[in-house]
């Protein structure tokens, strides 16, 4: 599932990003999306969910942007 790839990307980002680093990933709307966003919010000070203007209205494409990784 695509959300599993996004979760793996988050895990890798948490290993390599320095404090205050940013994370950006493409996701698709689905039943696990809110759980994934919650996990991103645990680690980043600010989280934005972005639907690009160029994306078709029917498309479930979204981007999740995590800003300023919290220090561990």
Residues identified as active-site: 26
Residues 53 and 30: their CA atoms lie apart, in Å, by 20
Token pair for 52: 């690009």
Token pair for 28: 């698709």
Token pair for 32: 């696990």
């Amino acid at each position: 599932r695509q959300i599993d790839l996004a979760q793996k990307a988050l895990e890798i980002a948490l290993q390599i990003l320095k404090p205050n680093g940013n994370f950006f990933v493409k996701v698709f709307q689905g039943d696990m999306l809110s759980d994934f966003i919650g996990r991103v919010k645990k680690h980043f000070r600010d989280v934005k969910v972005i639907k690009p203007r160029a994306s078709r209205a029917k498309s479930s494409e979204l981007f999740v942007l995590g800003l300023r990784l919290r220090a561990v």
